[in-house]
Amino acid sequence: MTQARIDVVEVLAEMVRIPSVEPTQAGEHAAEWGGEARMGRYVADFMERAGYRVEWQWVAEGRPNVICKGGAENPERIWLVEGHMDTVGVEGMRYPPFEGAVRDGRLWGRGAADCKGPLAAGMVACAGADLEELARKGEAIWFIGSMGEETGNNGARASLEVLPEWVWRTIALEPTEAAVVHASKGFAVLEVDIEGRSAHGSNPEVGLNAIYGAQVFTDRLRTLCEREGARYGSELTGRPSVNLGLIRGGIAANVVAPRCHLEFDWRTVPPETIGEVKEKIGALLESIKEEGVILGWEMRQQQNNEALWTSGDSGLVRELSAALQAAGLEGRKAGVRWCCDASIYCPRSDETVIFGPGSIRQGHATEEFIDVDELRRGTDGLGRLWPRRSS
Ligand SMILES: [Zn+2]
């Protein structure tokens, strides 16, 4: 199989015709449309034909990661190219979601932009690599089609178990309008339990009202976030933010509240890590305790997606940008405010970027499409990162 004979637009059309909807969003069609097993079969067959060794990692029933390895068997440097195979549901879509028709220079259907277009670009670009030449350089390409990105990045998290401790360069495939994204926000969901002291409502001064304590905490949390914004806010990713989304406390109107439970999400901005944010929030809670406003506190974390940060001057960013220019694209460097599987891989890679043709605005939308010219050029540009087999 040679690069010249594979048309990425045809590959993508075939992929759009294989539904791989996140099962919880497939409703009554879950058995027919849900999960990534059939999509995984397609990815595996395609990559096997291109000379890759394929391993299946079953993360949940009917829900695989497909791990395709080419190049050196014991590589000194690994290129990790990863894209997710799941899509969101199809409710309210204005056109047939699984037709993959090309009209007006666009390929239409669920997943065309998020994320089958970028995934197809990655597959075709990797299929064009000269794996023998790559092996001679001590390099390997590991291509992963992953499950479950749309609901907590479960596939990417699971794939860490089968990856070495460290990889060289990671390209997380997502629609970036073919920009080289080297910074993204991070995302943590935190829970805080505040402890007070109960008393009868007729005698509140004997108790310590946990709801009042929570009020002091939330005020200071927002102030902390503003201070962090002044320090870490950037043109690439905007400022950090916090959203208090849930609060539950107290027992009854005539009882001083002994407990209050809060849940919030905090969006970090690189280079600040979630660990650093948690330390600051912990210190804030501790100072409120020392002031006697609360009796105790506990903090737990539900989700951890680190912010992405790779220098705009790094080798990967410069090389990919130049490769895209050679393919007739702008090769723009950018940051984004959303997060994706790159958050899971960047703590274990020298250099990580997010890249793909297509726009995130079309992901999850009632009209989803990808520009076929951008798809072709993006595929061509990506494939210039490594030695190409002659066709
Ligand atoms: Zn996506």
305 has pLDDT over 80: yes
37 shares a domain with 132: yes
In whole angstroms, give the CA distance from residue 147 to residue 301: 23
305, 329, 361 - which closes a domain: 305
User: Any idea what the CATH number is for the domain that residue 220 is in?
Assistant: 3.30.70.360
269 shares a domain with 246: yes
235 within domain boundaries: yes
Distance in Å, CA 98 to ligand 1 centroid:
17
Distance in Å, CA 52 to ligand 1 centroid:
24
Q: What is the band of 390 on the pLDDT scale with cuts at 50, 70, 90?
A: confident
Per-residue confidence (pLDDT) for residue 333, from 0 to 100: 97
Mean pLDDT of 46-69: 97
Alpha-carbon separation of residue 253 from 201, 204, 295 (angstroms):
7, 11, 20
Total number of domains in the chain: 2
48 within domain boundaries: yes
Residues 110-151 pLDDT 10s: 999 999 999 999 999 999 999 999 999 999 999 999 999 888
Mean pLDDT of 51-70: 97
Mean pLDDT of 51-64: 96
Task: Tell me how far apart the terminal alpha carbons of the chain are, to the nearest angstrom.
Answer: 8
54 shares a domain with 125: yes
Distance in Å, CA 321 to ligand 1 centroid:
21
Mean pLDDT of 333-340: 93
331-335: Cβ within 8 A, 24+ apart:
331/180, 331/381, 332/178, 332/179, 332/180, 333/179, 333/180, 333/181, 333/182, 334/176, 334/179, 334/180, 334/181, 334/182, 334/236, 335/181, 335/182, 335/183, 335/184, 335/234, 335/235, 335/236, 335/237
Per-residue confidence (pLDDT) for residue 219, from 0 to 100: 97
291 has pLDDT over 80: yes
Residues 308-324 pLDDT 10s: 999 999 999 999 999 99
CB 44 within 8 A of CB 52: no
CB 176 within 8 A of CB 382: no
CA 161-165-171 angle, 5° bins: 85
1 has pLDDT over 50: no
Q: What is the band of 364 on the pLDDT scale with cuts at 50, 70, 90?
A: confident
Residue ranges making up the domain that contains 282: 187-305
In whole angstroms, give the CA distance from residue 284 to residue 228: 13
Distance in Å, CA 150 to ligand 1 centroid:
7
Per-residue confidence (pLDDT) for residue 2, from 0 to 100: 47
Per-residue confidence (pLDDT) for residue 20, from 0 to 100: 96
291 shares a domain with 202: yes
4 has pLDDT over 70: no
312 shares a domain with 301: no
Distance in Å, CA 113 to ligand 1 centroid:
8
301 shares a domain with 254: yes
Phi/psi for 214 (5° steps) reads: -65, -35
3 has pLDDT over 70: no
Distance in Å, CA 109 to ligand 1 centroid:
14
Unique residue bearing structure tokens 């299929």: 127
Per-residue confidence (pLDDT) for residue 391, from 0 to 100: 63
From the list 153, 236, 229, 155, the residue with the least C-alpha distance to 189 is 153
β-partners of residue 193 are 261, 298
Mean pLDDT of 164-191: 96
Unique residue bearing structure tokens 């209050």: 260
Distance in Å, CA 88 to ligand 1 centroid:
9
305, 336, 365 - which closes a domain: 305
Residues 191-222 pLDDT 10s: 999 999 999 999 999 999 999 999 999 999 99
Unique residue bearing structure tokens 């690439």: 236
pTM: 0.90
228 shares a domain with 155: no
β-partners of residue 333 are 180
Q: What is the band of 362 on the pLDDT scale with cuts at 50, 70, 90?
A: confident
15 shares a domain with 121: yes
29 shares a domain with 135: yes
Residues 246-262 pLDDT 10s: 999 999 999 999 999 99
389 within domain boundaries: no
Distance in Å, CA 253 to ligand 1 centroid:
46
Distance in Å, CA 355 to ligand 1 centroid:
11
